């Protein structure tokens, strides 16, 4: 067994096995895959149509949605998947086995990260080449930002699922935890233009940084210092949420 010496925090073989298992579960669920891939494209197309007469508005908001979709979708999918793991007893079985908690969390992150790349790639391609989205930045950085947003959604979903006892509760976390971030992230009103209290709140919400980063890479060619800083904050949120998620995952339960 290849346990990292000293720490024993993770084991790549088990992380990959877990990611493979999660992807296999998705593979058997064609409808979910179709929904995950098609819905974002349809929503973006709808947005383009709504702003048919104002291409400048679509050019500003379109990229932001490419960050928001993966975060929201992966948040819901992950928190429900993890809750199913808990209620089906498979979590209890896994935690009685030589699986590190991080292997489970990283396995989920890896699987949903791969899914997010496909989802965002498709939505980005549709936006750029079918809907005429016009951005100054490169599609590559758009994808990187979307991937980070998806990983953030997955990490937050894993963390949130620790506080849900039922599916009903897990689903309610979406409006409770994600919608406020959506209102404050700068999509509707630029963050600088909000009341200073709201701006301060939005400064500590992770979605703000995903949206900021997306706005930045869409409007400047290459990677600006601002975007790099946003990426660093996003990475810190992802690592922090995963670490907290691992800490709240208890092997012994009442």
Partner 1 sequence: MEGTSAVVVDQLTVHRGGNVVLDSVTCQVAAGSITGLLGPSGSGKSTLIRSIVGVQRVSSGTVQVLGKPAGSKSLRSLIGYVTQAPSVYADLSVRENLRYFAAIMGASPSDVDGAILAVGLKDKSVALVSRLSGGQRTRVSLAAALLGSPPVLVLDEPTVGLDPVLRRDLWEMFHELAGRGTTLLVSSHVMDEADRCSDLLLLREGKVMAQGAPVAIRDRTNTHDLESAFLALIDSEEAMAR
Q: Which residues lie near partner 1 (CB under 8 A)?
A: 1, 8, 13-14, 17-18, 20-21, 24-25, 28-29, 88-90, 92-99, 251-254
DSSP 3: P
Ramachandran assignment for 138, one of left (phi > 0), alpha (psi -120 to 50 degrees), beta (any other): beta
| Closer residue to partner 1, CB minimum distance, 56 or 97 | 97
Minimum CB distance to partner 1, residue 26 (Å): 9
Phi, psi dihedrals of residue 172, rounded to the nearest 5°: -65, -20
Minimum CB distance to partner 1, residue 221 (Å): 44
Minimum CB distance to partner 1, residue 114 (Å): 17
Minimum CB distance to partner 1, residue 97 (Å): 5
| Closer residue to partner 1, CB minimum distance, 28 or 195 | 28
Minimum CB distance to partner 1, residue 115 (Å): 15
The closest of 127, 158, 156 to 40, measured between CA atoms, is 127
| Closer residue to partner 1, CB minimum distance, 9 or 50 | 9
CA dist., res. 210 & res. 230, Å (int):
7
| Closer residue to partner 1, CB minimum distance, 196 or 253 | 253
| Closer residue to partner 1, CB minimum distance, 95 or 183 | 95
CA dist., res. 15 & res. 13, Å (int):
6
For the purposes of burial, counting CB atoms within 10 Å of the CB of 43, is it exposed (0-12), middle (13-18) or buried (19 or more)?
Answer: middle
């Amino acid at each position: 067994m290849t346990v990292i010496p000293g720490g024993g925090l993770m084991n790549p073989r088990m992380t990959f096995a877990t990611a493979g298992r999660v992807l296999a579960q998705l593979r058997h669920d064609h409808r979910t895959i179709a929904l995950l891939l098609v819905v974002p494209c349809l929503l973006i197309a709808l947005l383009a149509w709504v702003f048919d007469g104002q291409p400048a508005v679509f050019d500003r908001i379109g990229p932001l949605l490419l960050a928001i979709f993966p975060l929201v979708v992966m948040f819901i999918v992950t928190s429900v998947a993890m809750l199913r793991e808990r209620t089906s007893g498979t979590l209890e079985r896994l935690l009685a086995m030589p699986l590190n908690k991080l292997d489970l969390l990283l396995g989920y992150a890896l699987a949903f990260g791969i899914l997010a790349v496909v989802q965002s790639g498709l939505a980005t391609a549709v936006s750029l080449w079918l809907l005429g989205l016009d951005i100054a930045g490169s599609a590559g950085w758009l994808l990187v930002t979307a991937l980070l947003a998806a990983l953030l959604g997955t990490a937050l979903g894993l963390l949130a699922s620790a506080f849900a006892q039922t599916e009903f509760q897990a689903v309610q976390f979406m409006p409770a935890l994600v919608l406020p971030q959506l209102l404050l992230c700068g999509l509707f009103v630029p963050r600088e233009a909000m009341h200073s209290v709201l701006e301060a709140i939005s400064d500590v919400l992770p979605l703000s940084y995903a949206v900021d980063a997306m706005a930045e890479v869409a409007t400047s060619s290459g990677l600006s210092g601002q975007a790099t800083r946003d990426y660093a904050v996003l990475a810190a949120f992802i690592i922090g949420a995963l670490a907290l998620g691992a800490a709240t995952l208890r092997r012994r339960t009442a």
